[in-house]
């Protein structure tokens, strides 16, 4: 075989190596890109699960506090009003999430309260009526004034000596305790956590002026993600595209009539930027590999074509 033929063979081999290398790069780059996007969505969903669990734990604990207090009030049903208030005050001081605990009779009148920090008429409350029927329930978040804040209330029935319901104890918790959990979520530069109820009402959000408002999610996306876990994409109010992981609070929580959905969202542009960075790094490695193949092929061809110095 002549040296020219050998050169062609060598060049063909290295050309084939380069094409195979290029094919491997294309496949790897696509798999890596989709893998990063999938992992990002799963990561957002996992954070939403953690936030949901923490919120659910807080709600369950405050519910158990009210149930325990209702049993203590039942056991001391013949105590004076001041003695009952002292008992309620000890609970409030122990569990500092409560900013008011009130004892209410069956007609909706407040018998005593730790701070009289509640607002509104209990008699008109569906949650109060549910407690009179023997259930321990939690109210929807709602605004009270003077000073203005968003609160939830936990209601538990109080029984008399003959096991009849003689009243209701209500513990009020500021939603700021929930917001401390969601506001503590940081994901990159654009990520944040928020909570919607089953109607799409905003219950937690970094922008507190939007609390109890709507339009954080398009209705179609909200309908698909309501009370369910998963990953969604949507256009935010400002037009930016987001990817969000979501997970419900209260799916197995008897306190709620509906459910709260925790969303952890991040701008898609930031996710795409991370993907692009990985793609650039892969391209650099690819270019270096192709350059090495080129240098190796040229060197081999040169050595093959070099005149034999031992020839006469």
Query: Is the confidence at residue 24, as pLDDT, over 80?
Result: no
Written as six digits, the tokens of 124 are 């008109």
Written as six digits, the tokens of 106 are 């069956």
Supply φ then ψ for residue 117, to 5 degrees.
-100, 10
Query: Is the confidence at residue 138, as pLDDT, over 80?
Result: yes
More confident residue, 134 or 250: 134
Ranked by mean pLDDT, the top range of 67-76, 143-152, 207-216 is 67-76
Query: Is the confidence at residue 254, as pLDDT, over 60?
Result: yes
Confidence band for 287, pLDDT divided at 50, 70 and 90: confident
Quick one: average pLDDT of 272-293?
Answer: 70
CA pair distance 76, 221, nearest whole angstrom: 51
In the structure, how many helices (H) and strands (E) does the chain have?
6, 11
Percent of the chain with pLDDT over 90: 44
Domain boundaries in the chain? 59-177
Quick one: average pLDDT of 139-151?
Answer: 87
- When mean pLDDT is compared across 21-35, 94-108, 229-243, the lowest value belongs to 21-35
Confidence band for 306, pLDDT divided at 50, 70 and 90: low
CA pair distance 74, 164, nearest whole angstrom: 10
Query: Is the confidence at residue 251, as pLDDT, over 60?
Result: no
Q: Does domain 59-177 have CATH number 3.40.50.1100?
A: no
Confidence band for 103, pLDDT divided at 50, 70 and 90: very high
Provide the greatest CA pair distance for the chain: 124
CA pair distance 26, 95, nearest whole angstrom: 58
CA pair distance 218, 196, nearest whole angstrom: 12
Predicted confidence at residue 273, as pLDDT, reads 79
Task: Please write the tens of the pLDDT for every residue from 154-173.
Answer: 999 999 888 899 999 999 99
For the chain, the average pLDDT equals 83
Confidence band for 290, pLDDT divided at 50, 70 and 90: low
Predicted confidence at residue 221, as pLDDT, reads 72
Predicted confidence at residue 311, as pLDDT, reads 47
Confidence band for 65, pLDDT divided at 50, 70 and 90: very high
CA pair distance 25, 281, nearest whole angstrom: 12
Q: Is the peptide bond before 147 cis (omega within 30 degrees of 0)?
A: yes
Quick one: average pLDDT of 113-129?
Answer: 86
């Amino acid at each position: 075989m002549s040296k020219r033929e050998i050169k062609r063979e060598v060049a063909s081999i290295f050309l084939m190596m380069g094409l195979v290398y290029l094919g491997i790069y294309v496949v790897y780059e696509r798999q890596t890109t989709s893998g990063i996007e999938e992992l990002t969505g799963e990561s957002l969903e996992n954070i939403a699960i953690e936030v949901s669990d923490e919120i659910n734990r807080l709600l369950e604990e405050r519910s158990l506090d009210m149930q325990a207090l209702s049993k203590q009030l039942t056991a001391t049903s013949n105590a004076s009003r001041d003695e009952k208030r002292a008992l309620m005050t000890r609970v409030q001081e122990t569990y500092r999430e409560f900013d008011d605990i009130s004892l209410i009779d069956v007609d909706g009148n407040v018998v005593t309260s730790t701070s009289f920090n509640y607002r509104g008429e209990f008699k008109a409350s569906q949650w109060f009526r549910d407690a009179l029927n023997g259930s321990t329930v939690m109210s929807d978040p709602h605004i009270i004034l003077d000073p203005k804040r968003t609160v939830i209330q936990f209601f538990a029935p109080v029984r008399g000596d003959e096991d009849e319901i003689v009243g209701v104890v209500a513990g009020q918790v500021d939603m700021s305790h929930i917001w401390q959990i969601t506001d503590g979520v940081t994901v990159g530069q654009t990520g944040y956590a928020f909570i919607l109820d089953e109607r799409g009402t905003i219950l937690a959000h970094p922008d507190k002026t939007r609390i109890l408002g709507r339009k954080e999610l398009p209705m179609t996306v909200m309908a698909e993600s309501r009370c369910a876990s998963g990953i969604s994409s949507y256009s935010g109010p400002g037009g930016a595209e987001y990817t969000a992981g979501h997970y419900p609070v209260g799916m197995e929580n008897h306190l709620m009539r509906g459910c709260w959905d925790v969303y952890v969202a991040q701008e898609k542009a930031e996710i795409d930027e991370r993907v692009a960075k990985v793609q650039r790094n892969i391209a650099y490695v690819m270019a270096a590999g192709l350059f090495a193949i080129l240098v190796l092929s040229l060197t081999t061809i040169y050595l093959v074509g070099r005149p034999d110095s031992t020839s006469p």
